[in-house]
Chain A
Amino acid sequence: MHNLQRKVDVSIRSFYIFNSTYGLKEGHEKEKVLFYHPKDIELNTKISDIGLSQAFTTFTDTFTDEPGGCEVIHTEKTVQLLYQAEPKFWLVLVLNVPKEMLTKDGVDYAEYHPYELHDDIYRRVLIMAYERFRMQEGTFEMILEENPDNGREILVDKLEEFFDKYISSLKLPAEDIFEFMRSLQYLPLDKVLFLRVHNFMESLKSTYSTIKDSLFLYKNTVVTCGRFHSTQLYTLYRFVLEHLTTAASGEMTTRDAKHSVHKLYINTKDGIKPYRMVIYTSTNVNLCLFFEQQCNEITQQYLEDIGNVLSTQLYILSRDIEDYLSKQTNTTGKSTPASCGGDSDYGTKYLFINDQSLKMITNLGEDDTQRKTKLSQNILNVMADLFTISEGDNKESDMSIPSQEEIMVKSTDDFWVVKRHGNWRQRFVIVFSTKPTLLDMTKEAERIFTEHDIKDGVFSDK
């Protein structure tokens, strides 16, 4: 007799970082280990885990001229995700596959559900962990170069300090579609207001040539995002948001400290460079300005001066945006202006993503302000299947125009997804019902795509 006992969800078995060229001499293998979570594991186990990962990478390299491509290893009980973040530096995340504990004829056994874990989603978690570290601490190579004598020790310390905290903050199962797609919520403004923000930023930059880039946020939405590469933008956005939340929940910021300063390593066209990011806050607006780290001009006084110049303008912009948004709410009766629908019975959801600006337009989770609405595992995985991950995490994404494609799927458990891909946009339309026929669905998707094509023309993407 099968009889459901309990379900064990996915969990982290281990997370480790190693350099395959360290500790080659016999007896020195432990030098390979740069970080290992959990800590209370025998050193021999750590070394043999790393040895196994390395054996896998050697094995897969045998078949290709581009080494270092080993990405995922599946066993019955685990999924191991590998990422060679920098030459010879590997990050490995090992997950316990979710399982159900069952009893048959009095014998307990586990039934594993590997399909619940989507490789792409969890590999993205791993890559984002590295990108976050790199943004805050610089590349592994940089840390080693800065410390020629004790580079490895410094690196080990930094990894430990960063990842201990980072891992404990990871939420599993990973089920945030916005995070997986690295999409950002942009604030839809009318033309005039948008241009005012834009002009303000431009005049600020021309006055202070030390400002290299900027990010203008209203609450948790992006108004303008400077020239950051899309691979950098999401990590940066998350960092700023998290910083603001902790700052707000922490002790009340005093009136004098109108800005906070961070050293961040930003991925630009010329490689990864340290920048100084200063956040200026005025009511709901947060303006992040980026200066080169090495620039001597940037003193505390200098930043104060900029702050003084900004404050009035920022305050006025913040007030006007707020006014605009409340007017929108009054006219449409909805908080999110991007909402459409009304004339459809399907409760259609949509999610549009611009691959270049990461701009997302969606009505998923519209009803709760926290955007915490969870998609079911199945629909999340179906969407992850359909999502095209832009190639080259560090490279410039290739500029050839991707061909226009559309795919429409109907699941066995009552939902439809239509995805259109082209012109650097991935657009999803989701209907939670199997009632509509293929033609109904075509019409419904067409209606939503057309509506947004018009809007997309009005609001400049970048």
Chain B
Amino acid sequence: MSEVNWDPPTASSNSTNSTIYFDAENEADSDQAEVSCSTTVTDNFNGHETTKNLTADDDGTHFMPMASVCKTMTATTLTDEEASVDKPQSATTASSSRPLAKALDLHESVDTEVNIMSHDPTWKGQKKHIFILSEAGKPIYSLHGNEDKLAILFGIIQALVSFVENSQDVITSIKARGIQFVFMVKSNLIFVAASRTHLSVAQLQMQLNDAHNQIISTLTYSQLTKIFNQRKNFDLRRLLEGSERLINNLLLNDSSGKKISNNVFAFLTNSIRILPLQSSVRTSISQAIKENCSKIKNLVFAILLAQNRLVSLVQMKKYSIHPADLRLIVNLIECSESFKPSENWTPICLPKFDMNGYLHAHVSYLEENSPACLLLLSVDRDAFFVLSEAKQAITEKLKRSQCIEAINEAVMQTTRGKQQLNSIGIPELRHFLYKPKSAAQILCSEIVAPYTNLLDFERLESLYCDLLERIRNSKRPLKLILETRSNEVALAWSTEYYELFVVFDPLTQKSSVTKDVDKLIKWIEKEYDTYFIRTHPTF
């Protein structure tokens, strides 16, 4: 319990000089540098050290020194080849139509080279591809396949984007038979999705936004823009090393990752799932957190999660956490087995909270083998020991009040899905989603047969994707949809107060659908405080 895990550095400090500088900004190693390497740093490392201190706190004016450090570094440490590509921006725009012409002139060579990779049936057969590249065309990320082998494809994407940009326009999407492509240009990066799933353009855009947020969360926006202002063709992969798994997990939250889970519905509705708890239990949990944290300065958020579900959230007055930020946090916890046995101290940027600065997160599980994970996020980079103490106290309190047991019990309950549905008393009910309009929270009934089978789940997912798109999209929103198909009857209903999506057995009559929906709504209203959190307390 007392073991402290300083996140290991993700790259060795003896790589090239230019890497050292940027590595220091990486996801997790900031304080490691300070704690363990302070005596062995090189000149360059010292340079980085100062900037590090500044990024940790905030942004803006403090960044000026970093720019100058950066400049001197580029001047002194870059190889000729690297330096020569650092052209002023105007030059890039002028020449940006060239790659397209080149891609077309070399039509045949493009065909053959691209095909080397696209001949691979597994690659081609993927349900979803996501590519991230810099505006200069440098590969950064590909969900499937090695980016280096896809260099030509990245080149074509870059050429298409910049060609359209040259006519003062922006490419947003392409539809081909059976495939939907979505483009997004943000923070000097190009994001592309190619999908054979049922996700709509808007839903794919949300995924690209998630990927963008994850990158910001690792590097911060100011850092990112600084890098590309300095060097248009910087290879960002060096800085993102280690965070690919986070991006992968975010992007594979739907059935394209062969997962059967309600997580995708939380994503699609941009909301978070709540661990069902009696409201008295939840109150004593947040009370325990409040009591032990209210005196700690600079503590912004205290978040207790269990199994991807929110147990409790306590916020600093006047601040609130955006669902997109919360999703990043949930994703981080889901992906990081290494958090389990120890206390952790990790910097994290929450793009919607402050895209230019890091928060520092004390992350730990309440007890060994407990599914409950507590995050204490502070702007103070030296708060580790204070937060560690608070965590101890919180755990003690929760243990005494048997709240940990209650959480364990609630987590166990979630795996006994059919019981929850049965307790509502609607036999033809198969699955439902309920989202109050006043909160970014969603109630998803547990997944039961037939949807425990991947093929059937894919059908369920595509049904919900479609209903959600029709109900939520700004294009031509609908209030109510009732769809009768051979496999199921589905209803989507958007009222002033909530959105409801329900799937019934295929032979359910419309007259019983209305009765069932009434019954379901009554049940949810009765149980509301168990499944939702009305207000998040403040410190």
Contact = CB atoms under 8 A, between A and B. Distances in A.
Chain B associates with chain A: yes
B295 interface: no
A134 to B, nearest CB: 21
A336 B153 CA distance: 58
A62 B154 CA distance: 12
Contacts of A115: 474-476
Interface stretch (A186-194, A284-292, A402-410): A402-410
Contact of A64 (B153, B171, B177): B177
B483 interface: yes
A57 B432 CA distance: 40
A363 B175 CA distance: 35
Given A52-B163, A75-B169, A409 B176 contact: no
Given A60-B181, A76-B172, A410 B486 contact: no
Contact of A55 (B104, B477, B478, B511): B104
B179 A59 contact: no
Given A74-B172, A409-B480, A63 B486 contact: no
Nearest to A405: B485
Contact of A403 (B111, B159, B486): B486
Contacts of A76: 169-170, 172
Nearest to A45: B167
Contacts of B470: 385, 409
A234 B159 CA distance: 41
Contacts of A58: 103, 107, 110-111, 156
Interface in A384-422: 385, 403-412
With most chain A CB atoms within 10 A of its CB, the pick from B100, B172, B177, B481 is B177
Interface majority SS (helix, strand, loop, mixed), chain A: mixed
Nearest to B159: A55
A69 B105 contact: no
Contact of A51 (B101, B118, B181): B101
B160 A55 contact: yes
A406 B110 CA distance: 46
Contacts of A40: none
Contacts of B153: 62
Most chain B CB inside 10 Å of its own CB: which residue of A26, A405, A409, A439: A409
Contacts of A26: 105
Select the residue from A24, A64, A65, A405 with max chain B CB neighbours within 10 A. Answer: A64
A187 B403 CA distance: 75
B177 A69 contact: yes
A278 B115 CA distance: 52
Interface residues of B, number: 52
A408 B483 CA distance: 6
Interface in A58-116: 58-60, 62-66, 69-78, 114-115
Contacts of B511: 439, 442
Contacts of A114: 172
B491 to A, nearest CB: 9
Contacts of B486: 403-405
A356 interface: no
Contacts of B478: 382, 409-412
B225 to A, nearest CB: 22
A54 B476 contact: no
Interface in B83-100: 100
Contact of A74 (B107, B124, B157, B174): B174
A381 interface: yes
Contacts of B480: 408-410, 438
Contact of B172 (A52, A75, A404): A75
B536 to A, nearest CB: 30
B320 interface: no
A378 interface: yes
A71 B177 contact: yes
B484 A406 contact: yes
Interface in A108-150: 114-115, 119
Interface of A: 24, 26, 51-52, 54-56, 58-60, 62-66, 69-78, 114-115, 119, 378, 381-382, 385, 403-412, 434, 437-439, 442
17 contacts: A52-B160, A54-B104, A55-B104, A55-B163, A58-B103, A58-B111, A63-B118, A64-B124, A72-B174, A74-B173, A75-B172, A378-B476, A407-B481, A408-B481, A408-B482, A411-B476, A412-B479
Interface of B: 100-101, 103-105, 107, 110-111, 114-115, 118, 124, 129, 153, 156-157, 159-160, 163-164, 168-179, 181, 194, 470, 474-486, 510-511, 513-514
Q: Which 4 A-B pairs have the closest CB atoms?
A: A69-B177, A115-B475, A60-B176, A410-B480
